Amino acid sequence: MTQFNKLLDNLNTEQKKAVLDTEGPNLIVAGAGSGKTRVLTTKLAYIISEKRAWPNQILCVTFTNKAAKEMQNRVLGFIKGKSSAVPWLGTFHSISVKFLRRHAEAIGFKSNFTILDTDDQKKLIKKICEAENIDAKKISPQFIISFIDNWKNKGLTHKDVKIKKNNTLESQILKVYSIYQQKSQDLNAMDFGDLILFTVKLFENNNDIAEIYRKNFKYILVDEYQDTNFIQNKWLNLLVNSKQNICCVGDDDQSIYSWRGAEIKNFLTFDKIYPDCKVYKLEQNYRSTKNILETASSLISNNNSRVGKKLWSSGNDGDLVKLNCYSSGKDEATGVSDIIETKIKKKYSLNNVCILVRAIYQTREFEERFLKIGLGYRVLGGIRFYERAEIKDAISYLRIVNQKFDDLALERVIGAPKKGVGDATLKKIYEYGSKEKLCLEDTIINLIKLDQFKPKIKKTFSVLIKMIEKWRIEAKKIKHYDLLKLILDESGYSSALKNKKDLENENRLENLKELLRAMQDYENLQDFLEHVSLATSADQEWEGEKVNLMTMHAAKGLEFDVVFLPGWEEGLFPHQKSLQEKGDFALEEERRLAYVGITRAKKEAFLSFAMRRAYQGDWMDAVPSRFINELPENNIEKNEIVEKENDDDFDFNQDNSIELGDEYRSPGWDRLKKKLIKWKK
């Protein structure tokens, strides 16, 4: 163990214990910034270096290919080329592919099977829906895929699924699932869900094959264990041998992906599955200041479903966590930008500054502000607001209403939502238009008159042209944002998104609502479209000094010197829809999300909420998030209400005595009401 002395010297006491204990089941509860990757990698290198197992006798599972590659490189660096790479180090999916290539025949496939991507799945399901007379407008292929994925995550083949009586929707989806699986097998193809599910079925139905791997894998190491779903956990348990040398690393307080199947109970019941397990808690944080850690720890302590730990740091206290109150969402964006410009820029690189939002549409007000003052920014894990597909679609409708010669806008409108117009038809239109020197709209009108379209296409174009003409008349009578509401309704765009019931389309609808709110800041349609043109033509280079914007979900695993956490209001955070669907379970996950957000900050953290926000054209009083009530008094600095000059028509009542009535019953409101009164004094 001599060569490891130096490595071990860099570990704290609990980290060393976790590394050196290789026998039997281990659960390493690793808090944010506690060095879990270092511990897991060192443990892997230690097992190899001490010849407790050869590299091919270790199964090491990560959640991303990037993490697997980084771990592979670190291990090779630790053992300095004395061993080959670890062949069974990878993601659940990549390792499952290895198993299935070797044993495909045992589950009715050939070893050269194809792996279907999402587009392949959509195409196949669309064909099935057409054959079975299932209306894809009512039940979208993406919606069906999400259902099927959910079943597979729960370990259910189409034969295992039980549908309640009179549930027509699920019965239809189950029928598609059954046909889809048969078609996939006929094509010798599997999707990503199949890779793990079929591996589990392979081992369950072929104990001799499973036993080969159980004997081979002397050690099993698992990263980000809190993010495993039911089928992944079953996959792991099937590979554990009688010695039970399985080590799982993760943080139950950072379990934030239940919406994609992750089950925190895998983590919380590990000691029930493996009664002899040893639990190691990595509580020393190497990332954040004491004030940031104590704030996060106090907040997460309100959760009941957790192993329990308290992060600490040997570093300095650092600045108090700032809690700011703003009159509106717009003022919040202005206030945050002012802090960045006047204070943060002087001390930190903008590349180390991040704004974390609960919902992606929240980036809009910050983007608008940054564009206005010329502050560089990038949206990580997402697309700039005005570049999002649904926003560009909506803008295209407005552009063609505003200007009939905007061919690019009309071309986009023809495909949003899809109207059954193919490339051949578009080619025909453009050839005629070029010959006659007509704009796209006039070309279509002429071809309709000349009866050059098939009946169905002719009807589609006739309806579209009539609607555009109608909207141009309406544009002279109503506000430009009311015009967009009308367009989204009458074009079928909104209903198309509503009918496709999945998270992606819900986010698109929220983005469109935010677009309607943005339009109210401009006098007329022309002014707004000019603003959009300037916004979309702004510098988009990623290099250089730029503030980072992203969702809290996307920030997991990252860290920044300074973190801003805006929008801490009831309904937004915790998110109302989550609470309605899953109650207390969702509340605890939302609190874990808050914990993740705060612990991304290394040196300074700024929390904020607005007293009012615009929602679908109306100003609504906002109630501060219940999470604010759970923050520790000693680690928080409450700042005065920040009033900014508002250049829209909204007049914030600065003499509000905060007599808000009985409708505000959220935990923490009473205490905050008193604080707000003090702030105003």
The catalytic site residues sit at 36-37, 223-224, 254, 600
Rounded Cα distance, 294 and 271, in Å: 28
Q: Return the number of other C-beta atoms located less than 10 Å from residue 623's C-beta.
A: 21
DSSP H helix total and E strand total for the chain: 28, 16
Question: Which of 315, 297, 314 minimizes the C-alpha distance to 251?
Answer: 297
- Residue in this structure with the two tokens 């609502």, named with its chain if needed: 513
Rounded Cα distance, 554 and 356, in Å: 9
Rg of the chain in Å (alpha carbons): 28
Sheet with 89-91, edge to edge strand ranges? 89-91, 58-62, 219-222, 246-250, 26-30, 278-282
CA distance between the termini of the chain: 65
Which own/partner contact pairs does 330-334 have at CB distance under 8 Å and 24+ positions apart?
330/365, 330/521, 330/644, 330/646, 330/648, 331/610, 331/642, 331/643, 331/644, 331/646, 332/365, 332/566, 332/567, 332/608, 332/609, 332/610, 333/365, 333/366, 333/368, 333/369, 333/566, 334/369, 334/644
Give me 162's structure tokens. 């039980």
Give me 502's structure tokens. 């999945």
For residues 278 and 25, is the Cβ–Cβ distance under 8 A? yes
The crossing angle, in degrees rounded to 10, of helices 389-402 and 455-475 is 70
Using alpha carbons, list the distances in angstroms from residue 356 to 7, 12, 450, 631, 656: 35, 31, 55, 18, 29
Question: Which of 479, 340, 465, 492 minimizes the C-alpha distance to 404?
Answer: 465
Rounded Cα distance, 502 and 507, in Å: 9
Burial class (CB in 10 A: 0-12, 13-18, 19+), 126: middle
Rounded Cα distance, 457 and 422, in Å: 10
Using alpha carbons, list the distances in angstroms from residue 211 to 11, 109, 203, 208, 401: 36, 21, 8, 5, 67
Rounded Cα distance, 197 and 194, in Å: 5
Find the angle CA(202)-CA(206)-CA(208) to the nearest 5 degrees: 130
For residues 5 and 19, is the Cβ–Cβ distance under 8 A? no
For residues 235 and 100, is the Cβ–Cβ distance under 8 A? no
